[in-house]
């Protein structure tokens, strides 16, 4: 019998990826977090609390929906959608913040910080912080503050403070840098809710585990809907939290796992955000993983139509799954993403987030690899409300 998948190891490595590469001041905080997380993992009271919040506040389980017209259109496998876009706050991000805020509370922390790219994680963090009455600070690249102004306002409405980050490329990676600096400075009373499966151990594991509810639900839902496991699961990958959340419970099963990165203006142009397709292993933000870096080890600027995928790194577990061959990672460019965005809106009445639209863009190519009685599931990681203004602008439409 095959060994059950059990990454990461006790030092926080997925194979050779991951680890804890942070300034010394944070090492103790990471150890404390790890111990606390191990305690609650086996605490049935805590788990009940999370389950109740996920049901009553988030609205889980999210439906598994048969996309009939999309299926007809591609004339390939049955296409099913896991509707994370229907969660409270409009994306999968809340699955993680619900869990981490309870951890923070248990650890006695009174101040919450987070980074955000598209703003979805910022909204999801501000939401749970408001609910528990905790002070909340969100770091966001100045460029993202511009292109995701709706989410910035939502975060403010929820009572949190937004700090635009001007340093470096003024996008998600710089927001992460600034959040880490805040954490180093305020480590005694502050809990850092990382929004993806990135950063130092134990974050990639914690964020994965909280998001894995998506994959666990899918096991039951696919049995109920088509009496077997899916033949393939497709999800977009920036840091990779929605992808790992839906992949993880299937790693030991015979299911194709396909992650879709942002090829931006095209892999050949170098202007993209696809480290698994066109990067090399290195160390950034506390972990070893595939990165977009130059020959001197400097982190490169990225390009993607979607703020949430505009990140030069990727969660270490994805690097491991890539090297081991267990998951496949492809990349789609901005143009094909826009096409998929419109297609899903028009064929199914679902306007996806631009990040999410990446998971639909490869259907053109991939659907021919399946036959008509097979079933594939796409993770609809978030809804597109936040992107309406920027899509209109891209297409030259004046909404004012």
| 222-228 own/partner pairs: CB under 8 Å, 24+ apart | 222/64, 222/80, 222/375, 222/377, 225/64, 225/66, 225/80, 226/78, 226/80, 226/375, 228/375
Nearer to another protein, 121 or 173 (CB): 173
Nearest distance, CB of residue 284 and another protein, angstroms: 6
Nearer to another protein, 26 or 309 (CB): 26
Nearer to another protein, 175 or 377 (CB): 175
Tokens for 82? Answer: 């896991």
Give DSSP secondary structure letters for 315-352. Answer: -HHHHHHHHHTSEEEEEEEHHHHHHHHHHHHHHHS--B
Residues at the interface with another protein (CB under 8 A): 19-29, 31, 167-168, 173-174, 177, 180-181, 184-188, 282-286, 291, 293, 295-299
Residue 91 gets which letter from DSSP?
A: B
Nearest distance, CB of residue 280 and another protein, angstroms: 9
Nearest distance, CB of residue 187 and another protein, angstroms: 6
- Give 61's contacts (C-beta < 8 A, 6+ positions apart): 217, 221
Q: Is the peptide bond before 57 cis (omega within 30 degrees of 0)?
A: no
Residue 59 gets which letter from DSSP?
A: -
Catalytic residues: 93, 115, 381
Nearest distance, CB of residue 211 and another protein, angstroms: 25
Nearer to another protein, 30 or 307 (CB): 30
Helix (H, G, I), strand (E, B) or coil at 186: coil
Nearer to another protein, 23 or 59 (CB): 23
Nearest distance, CB of residue 20 and another protein, angstroms: 6
């Amino acid at each position: 019998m095959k060994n059950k998948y059990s990454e990461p190891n006790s030092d926080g490595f997925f194979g050779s990826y991951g680890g804890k590469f942070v300034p010394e001041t944070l090492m103790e905080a990471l150890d404390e977090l790890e111990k606390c997380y191990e305690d609650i993992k086996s605490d049935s009271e805590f788990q009940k609390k999370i389950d109740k919040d996920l049901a009553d506040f988030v609205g889980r389980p999210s439906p598994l929906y048969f996309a009939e017209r999309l299926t007809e259109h591609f004339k390939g496998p049955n296409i099913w959608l896991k509707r994370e876009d229907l969660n409270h706050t409009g994306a999968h991000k809340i699955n993680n913040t619900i869990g981490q805020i309870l951890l923070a509370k248990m650890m006695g922390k009174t101040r919450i910080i987070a980074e955000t790219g598209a703003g979805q994680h910022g909204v999801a963090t501000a939401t749970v912080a408001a609910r528990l009455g905790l002070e909340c600070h969100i770091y966001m690249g100045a460029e993202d503050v511009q292109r995701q102004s709706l989410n910035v306002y939502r975060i403010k409405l929820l009572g949190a403070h937004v700090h635009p980050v001007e340093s470096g490329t003024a996008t998600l990676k710089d927001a992460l840098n600034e959040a880490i600096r805040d954490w180093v400075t305020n480590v005694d009373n502050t809990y850092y809710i990382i929004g993806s499966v990135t950063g130092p151990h134990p974050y990639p594991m914690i964020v994965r585990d909280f998001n894995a509810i998506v994959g666990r639900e899918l096991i039951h839902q696919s049995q109920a809907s088509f009496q077997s496991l899916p033949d393939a699961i497709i999800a977009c990958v920036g840091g990779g939290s929605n992808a790992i959340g839906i992949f993880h419970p299937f790693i030991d099963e015979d299911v194709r796992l396909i992650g879709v990165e942002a090829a931006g203006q095209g892999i050949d142009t170098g202007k993209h955000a696809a480290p698994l397709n066109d990067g090399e292993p290195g160390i950034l933000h506390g972990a070893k993983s595939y990165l977009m870096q130059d020959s001197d080890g400097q982190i490169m600027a990225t390009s993607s139509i979607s703020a949430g995928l505009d990140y030069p790194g990727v969660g270490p577990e994805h690097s491991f799954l890539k090297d081991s061959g267990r998951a496949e990672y492809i990349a789609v460019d901005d143009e094909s993403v826009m096409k998929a965005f419109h297609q899903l809106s028009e064929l199914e009445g679902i306007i996806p987030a631009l990040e999410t639209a990446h998971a639909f863009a490869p259907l053109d190519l991939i659907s021919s690899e399946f036959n008509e009685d097979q079933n594939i599931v796409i993770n609809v990681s978030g809804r597109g409300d936040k992107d309406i203004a920027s899509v209109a602008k891209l297409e030259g439409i004046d909404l004012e």
